[in-house]
């Protein structure tokens, strides 16, 4: 059966848990998306922008030196970091941007954590002539100042969010509040496979271009399907995009890597699927980091893009059905992977993507040399260089 069902459910997960004011907008969006999906002109337009503007297809690159360094399976990197704006987020924002124009809405809003989705939304807003406002937790505004400046250059207004933990979760709250207020003129461009139906489905579909290409590319390169797909999971859009086209290829194992922050035992992490419980946040039912009273816990990760206490509902479904397995990597492990990939391949990865590389580094010796692994390199690390240099110099001071 094709999921989600008519009401947006993936098993017990998903759905539409939103204020009444948004229900009509969601129905309208669902209708517009369905019509667009069946419209050849829309797909052609989207493909045009993905190829000519964003630079698709992205390469599937055989990482020979990383493979050698890790002494394990043969590693391919899906190079979403090479896309325009520096991450996979553009795949989704181009789709939703075109849809916004199609619905006749003139304003687009977005939440952002690391700023990658904010930049991708601001970019598309500039491209299609839409007004754009981005909500970003105050803490993230500070740790991702480069992306804040990029968004402003692109003509977007960036609203620092001061409530709660001042990170992605609160940015999403604030974007929802704006949407409830301006729903008649505004499209909320959710950046992950999260939120109320139809977002998890729609964002998955837009991101599936990652996996569709990867499948074609690995077959061409190796003549067979990979044994493992690995990707980091915050809300889970790059991983879902990579996984989904392989859904029925039962021998292809899906591995999602969450942020273990300072360590799972410290409580300061963002490992929603590994450590969370089922709940409702931001419009859908999914795993959540919450306390025994159902209050949402604050997530922690060195990577702003993974610093989120929820996860897309289809990932929760994959976890419960066993279709995907979820593990985690700590801040320290991600930093090591950040350097490892920089040094072995000359590729500076985003801290988010570094988590996937970090997990692979941890387990590579347990895998067979004949195994084939595709890792989604969801974004590039330019935005993180500043912070990493600060952390590394602090560490050097301490070591001295």
Partner 1 sequence: MNRIDKKFAELKKPGRKALVTFITAGDYGLQNTKKLVLEFEARGADIIELGIPFSDPVADGPTIQVSSERALKRGTKLKDVISAVGELRNKTEIPIVLMGYYNPILKYGVNKFISDCARNGVDGAIIPDLPPEEAGELISASRKKDFATIFLLSPTSTPDRIKLISKNSRGFIYYVSLTGITGARSSLPAELSSRVRLIKRRSKLPVCVGFGVSSPGQVRQICRAADGAIVGSAIVREMERNSAKKRFIGNVGDYVQKLAEASH
Sites of contact with partner 1 (CB under 8 A) = 7, 15-25, 163-164, 169-170, 173, 176-177, 180-184, 277-283, 285, 288, 290, 292-296
Pick between residue 81 and residue 174 the one whose CB is nearest to partner 1.
174
Answer for the pair 350, 321: CB distance below 8 angstroms, yes or no: no
**Under 8 Å CB-to-CB from 3, ≥6 apart: which residues?**
9, 10, 11, 314, 317
Q: What is the smallest separation between the CB atom of 1 and partner 1, expressed in angstroms?
A: 20
The separation between the first and the last C-alpha atoms of the chain, rounded to the nearest angstrom, is: 59
Q: What is the smallest separation between the CB atom of 194 and partner 1, expressed in angstroms?
A: 13
Answer for the pair 14, 77: CB distance below 8 angstroms, yes or no: no
Pick between residue 57 and residue 164 the one whose CB is nearest to partner 1.
164
Q: What is the smallest separation between the CB atom of 178 and partner 1, expressed in angstroms?
A: 9
Answer for the pair 283, 273: CB distance below 8 angstroms, yes or no: no
Quick one: tokens of 247?
A: 């859904």
Quick one: tokens of 346?
A: 């000359």
DSSP string over 333-382 = HHHHHHHHHHHHHS--B-HHHHHHHHHHHHHGGGS-TT-EEEEEE-BBSH
Catalytic site positions: 89, 111, 378
β-bridge pairing 283-288 and 277-281:
antiparallel
Q: What is the C-alpha separation between 71 and 68, in angstroms, rounded?
A: 5
β-bridge pairing 157-161 and 131-137:
parallel
Pick between residue 235 and residue 241 the one whose CB is nearest to partner 1.
235
Q: What is the C-alpha separation between 229 and 361, in angstroms, rounded?
A: 14
Is residue 61 helix, strand or coil? strand
Run of H or E including 127: helix 116-128
Pick between residue 25 and residue 98 the one whose CB is nearest to partner 1.
25
Pick between residue 22 and residue 306 the one whose CB is nearest to partner 1.
22
Q: What is the smallest separation between the CB atom of 310 and partner 1, expressed in angstroms?
A: 10
Q: What is the smallest separation between the CB atom of 375 and partner 1, expressed in angstroms?
A: 33
CB atoms within 10 A of CB 127: 16
Q: What is the smallest separation between the CB atom of 263 and partner 1, expressed in angstroms?
A: 23
Pick between residue 85 and residue 290 the one whose CB is nearest to partner 1.
290
């Amino acid at each position: 059966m094709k999921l989600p069902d008519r009401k947006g459910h993936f098993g017990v997960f998903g759905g539409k848990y939103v204020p009444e004011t948004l229900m009509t907008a969601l129905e309208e969006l669902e209708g517009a998306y369905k019509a667009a999906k069946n419209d050849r002109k829309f797909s052609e337009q989207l493909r045009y922008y993905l190829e000519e503007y964003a630079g698709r297809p992205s390469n599937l690159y055989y990482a020979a030196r990383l493979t050698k360094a890790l002494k394990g399976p043969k590693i391919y990197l899906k190079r979403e970091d090479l896309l325009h704006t520096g991450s996979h987020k553009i795949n989704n924002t181009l789709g939703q941007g075109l849809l916004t124009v199609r619905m006749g809405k003139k304003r687009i809003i977005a939440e952002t954590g690391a700023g990658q989705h904010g930049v991708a939304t601001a970019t598309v807003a500039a491209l299609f002539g839409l007004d754009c406002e981005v909500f970003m937790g105050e803490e993230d505004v500070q740790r991702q100042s480069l992306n804040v400046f990029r968004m402003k250059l692109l003509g977007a207004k960036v609203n620092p969010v001061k409530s709660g933990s001042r990170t992605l979760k609160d940015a999403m709250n604030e974007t929802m509040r704006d949407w409830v207020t301006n729903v008649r003129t505004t499209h909320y461009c959710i950046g992950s496979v999260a939120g109320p139906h139809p977002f998890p489905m729609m964002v998955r579909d837009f991101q599936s271009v990652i996996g569709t290409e990867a499948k074609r590319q690995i077959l061409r390169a190796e003549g067979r399907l990979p044994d493992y797909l690995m990707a980091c999971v915050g809300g889970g859009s790059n991983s879902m995009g990579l996984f989904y086209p392989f859904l029925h290829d039962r021998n292809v194992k899906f591995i999602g890597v969450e942020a273990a922050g300072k360590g799972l035992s410290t409580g300061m992490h963002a490992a929603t699927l590994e450590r969370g419980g089922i709940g409702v946040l931001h419009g859908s039912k999914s795993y959540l980091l919450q306390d025994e009273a159902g209050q949402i816990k604050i997530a922690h990760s060195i990577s702003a893009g993974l610093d989120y206490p929820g996860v897309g509902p289809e990932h929760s479904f994959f976890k419960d059905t066993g279709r995907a397995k979820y593990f985690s990597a700590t801040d320290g492990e991600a930093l090591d992977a950040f350097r490892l990939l920089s040094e072995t391949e000359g590729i500076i990865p985003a801290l988010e993507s570094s988590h996937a590389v970090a997990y692979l580094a941890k387990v590579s010796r347990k895998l067979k040399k004949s195994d084939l692994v595709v890792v989604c390199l969801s974004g590039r690390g330019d935005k993180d260089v500043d912070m990493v240099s600060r952390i590394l110099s602090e560490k050097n001071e301490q070591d001295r």
